[in-house]
Structure 1
Amino acid sequence: MNNAENPMADVATGGHVLVLDERITGQEQLIAGMLGKQISAGGAVIVLGASIEEPMLATLLNACHLAGREADLLVVNPAKPATSHTYNPVLHSSPASIASQVMNFIANQDDSGETSDGGTARLLEAIIACLQLGNIPYSFLDLGMFVMKPDAIAALGEFIGQAHPGSEALRAFDAALQPFRDAEGNISPSLLKAKYSGLAGSMCMLGTGRLGEIFNSYKPDLVLHDAIASSKVIYLAAPYIGRGAAASNLRRIVIANLADAVGRLAESDPAPKVPALALFTDAGGCNDPCVERLLAAESEGVLRVWISSPSLDDLGRESIDLREVCLSRARSLVFFRPNTEATAQLYLKFLNQDGAPGTGALVERMLALSSTQYVAVTDGSQVQWGDARAPQLETQRSAVVLPRPERFFHEPLTGADQFTQTVPV
């Protein structure tokens, strides 16, 4: 068994990785070692989960301390706004991406799907496009107010008409408003309410209370494309909101923002010496079509994605499509000790695809692995055996203590609040 430096922890090479561990122990140690090496190499890190896990946060804090990078750490934690950095996931993504993602809040509330038709999404997209064209910052709360307040929509149209007459955004805005005008040509409150009441309620929920303290910002601490470009270390909790399919809507918006950030960097900037590392700590957190964009081979020069899951069955329960995307696009598959011989036989299909002899010995070897030992296959053929036990860090912190970030307080009426009369943080 190879107990030397972890072969999976080479930060300069490699691509997307799927890690499977039914016991979790080895997976946690492998990830901790990988994060430590990524941070010591000066690379960017994005950890995305449903909540902040203290051991993971301690790993990031210790690694940043050892590398002298404490100032690079950004923690977005809606559960503890006082020690959280601010983050506005709808501020810098493309209008089409934002509109399609936030429209899920309507689609999940109406099984008929009638409220999520193209016309409904087009108005939201047109509003966002006008805000971005006018360089007007906005938040979840503003989006909820716009779709329910004809006066705010009209005022935005007038503003863009004066500042950018004849623009494509203004033409799209006028066209998208047509289904929401009454017989006299005025914007109809009843038509807006019939289409957007569910969305308005959801956006207001995300823009007020504890969530609002994090997301309702016109100048957030965390801007993903800037943070990746400047090699920040980010721990971002995107909690499940509500129940059922709607519970992961916030996560979808965050993933879309990350995918847009990577796309922007891939198109405009030279590839970083050390690609950023994105870690999804639970399978449910990456069950979104935008993950397929993140797992594209073209993104590996900017961002490598690690997805952790207890098993292929568990990944399939979240989404069959997600499992297939991970298996087809991950450069490396990492298997820790399987619980059963049947699982070992399943892993064998990926380790020995050509049907070579000795399969029984491979199964026995997998079943004999310790809780921290693993076998990995890269590019469908290169098999490595290793141990995830990481060397002890030079400095350990017994408790996680985060400072209270300085808040940026906005001058009133400096963004979309001039139309919506909201109060940004």
Structure 2
Amino acid sequence: MNNENPMAEVATGGHVLVLDERSTGQEQLIAGMLGKQISAGGAVIVLGSSIEEPMLETLLDACHLAGREADLLVINPAKPATSHTYNPVLHSSPANIASQVMNFIANHDTNDIGSAGLLEAIIACLQLGNIPYSFLDLGMFVMKPDAIASLEGFIGEAFPASEELRALEAALLPFRDAEATICPSLLKAQYSGLAGSMCMLGTGRLGEIFNSYKPDLVLHEAIASGKVIYLAAPYIGRGAASSNLRRIVIANLADAVGRLADRELTPKVPALAVFTDAGGCNDPCVERLLAAESEQFLRVLISAPSLVDLGRESIDLREVCLSRARSLVFFRPNTEATAQLYLKFLSQDGGAGTGAMVERMLAFSATQYVAVTDGSHVQWGDARAAQPESKWAAADLPRPLRFFHEPLTGADQFTQTVPV
């Protein structure tokens, strides 16, 4: 047991918010938690905008020490050659996928149920028919009337009385012309730009990872089987749309936990999800991840420089983290004002010894911290831990075997796309 780093113990605690303006302490704290989690046989999901070499080395070393090298999956769009494949829209709920994908359309009206409704109906029909699909297919469907008509005919023959078919027929009504034919111009008016965004995610280097009908990483299966995952979901594009891919990943993770809960597949060791950048979880779906009832399946750690930075990212995200994280971990504050702010979470107003607590926090080394759990239990500790010297690096990652699809085995039979 690491008495100096009680937060690294995997058998206790729930969701955690870690604040460190220098990042040195939280890096060591997270490394200790990951090592304990992997040695205990639990699943790990590290999520960030890119692969950080020290974090990857931590995972590689911990997997090697635990004899779990085969459990490591790395999703790295920057280096497709050594990345596993991952299709975040394949197993999420149709409603989640549709709402998230529609965010790629500039000036999209979030109250426009009809536009998202057609996309949701298409996805529901694909899932009903057990037809795999990718980002690229979704972009093609909403721009190609023939593809939608072919899917409608297929589901009509295979599942003629299904709710999914009725939903598709109803969603298509606004897009039909006077002759009841699906009208290309009406589709284009609603979905202009979506095909381009989906093509960006489904071709080139990104396509090598995301355009798969049989991906290496299926999150609910990976969590259930205790995989160790490093998932880089980069910012794509500019402005508000730049984090859309990351929101899709959050929705996929939330749906994965929901699947485990529905099937009552409670792991012996709850999975540990680590967000290395608070911006990576700035989405309403994070509320589902941080729900108390999800802790038996997945514990979430969110790291940020400070509460101020977290608030700049999103006031709603800050409030969700503060209200739902069971443990708050504070490393050395830069100013007395910040220390006073932290003190509000550590003691009752007017409590004895508060001045001494502020002085102690301001005197912290870069790795010392104070943590409060369940609003009352205070722990003082040091994140320094005996870490093994790194023997493994990204260069040691093998090239994963690619699964190549037979043509016309999924949604490509309707959209004429080419899956990897």
TM-score bin (small chain):
over 0.9
Could you list the per-position Cα deviations for residues 25-57 of structure 1 after superposition, in whole angstroms to 9, with x for gaps in the alignment? 011000000000000000000000000000000
Q: Is the 8 A contact 1:32 1:56 kept in 2?
A: yes
Deviation readout 1:300-346 (Å, 9 max, x if unpaired): 00000000001000100000000000000000000001011110000
Alignment correspondent of 2:120: 125
- The code of the aligned residue for 1:93 comes to S
Cα displacement (A) at 1:271: 1.5
1:357 Cα deviation after fit: 1.3
Which of the residues 264, 285, 292 maps onto 1:290?
285
Correspondence 1:245 to 2:240: yes
When structure 1 is superposed on structure 2, of 25-34 and 345-354 the one drifting more is 345-354
Verify: 1:27 aligned to 2:26, yes or no: yes
Q: Distance in 2 between matches of 1:277 and 1:76?
A: 17
1:181 maps to 2:176: yes
Partner of 1:85: 84
Q: Which residue of 2 aligns with 1:205?
A: 200
Alignment of 1:351-366 (within 5 A): 351-366=346-361
RMSD: 1.3
CA contact (8 A) 1:147 1:153 kept: yes
CA distance in 1: counterparts of 2:416 and 2:241, whole angstroms: 28
Q: 1:318 aligns with which of 310, 313, 317?
A: 313
| 1:241–1:247 contact (8 Å) kept in structure 2 | yes
Which of 257, 272, 296 in structure 2 is aligned with 1:262?
257
Which residue pairs with 1:393 in the alignment?
A: 388
Q: Give the secondary structure class of the aligned counterpart of 1:11.
A: coil
For residues 85-111 of structure 1, the C-alpha deviation after alignment (integer angstroms, 9 at most, x for no partner) is 0000000001111001111111xx11x
Q: Which residue does 1:49 correspond to in 2?
A: 48
**Correspondence for 2:330:** 335
**Count of residues paired in the alignment:** 420
Verify the 8 A CA contact 1:277 1:306 in the aligned structure 2: yes
Distance 2:295 2:418 in 1: 39
Among residues 253, 271, 274, which one is paired with 2:266 in the alignment?
Answer: 271
Query: Which residue of 1 is the match for residue 367 of structure 2?
Result: 372
**How far apart, CA to CA, are the structure 2 residues paired with 1:400 and 1:347?**
41
Whole-Å Cα distance in 2 between the matches of residues 355 and 329 of structure 1? Answer: 25
Shift of 1:244: 1.1
Q: How does 1:166-177 map to 2 (within 5 A)?
A: 166-177=161-172
What is the aligned partner in structure 2 of residue 414 from structure 1?
409
Over 3 Å counting, the alpha-carbon distance change for 1:233 and 1:115 in structure 2 is closer
Matched, 1:36 2:35: yes
Question: 1:139·1:217 contact (CA, 8 Å) conserved in 2?
Answer: yes
Shift of 1:144: 0.3
Look up the equivalent residue of 1:259 and give its one-letter code.
A
Where does residue 139 of structure 1 map in the other structure? 134
Cα distance in 1, alignment partners of residues 392 and 97 from structure 2:
39
State the shift of 1:407 in Å. Answer: 0.2
The TM-score normalised by the length of structure 2 is 0.98
State the SS of the aligned residue for 1:423: coil
- Matches of 2:182 and 2:392, distance apart in 1: 58
Q: 1:348 aligns with which of 343, 346, 355?
A: 343
Cα offset for 1:181? 0.1
Q: Which runs of 5+ in 2 are unaligned?
A: none
Q: Secondary structure of 2:245's match?
A: helix
* Gapped regions of structure 1 (runs ≥ 5): none
Amino acid in the other structure paired with 1:197: S
Report the TM-score when normalising by structure 1: 0.97
**Residue 398 of structure 1: how far off its partner (Å):** 6.0
1:405 maps onto 2:400 in alignment: yes
1:158 aligns with 2:157: no
Please tell me whether the aligned partners of residues 103 and 116 of structure 1 are also in contact (alpha carbons under 8 angstroms).
no
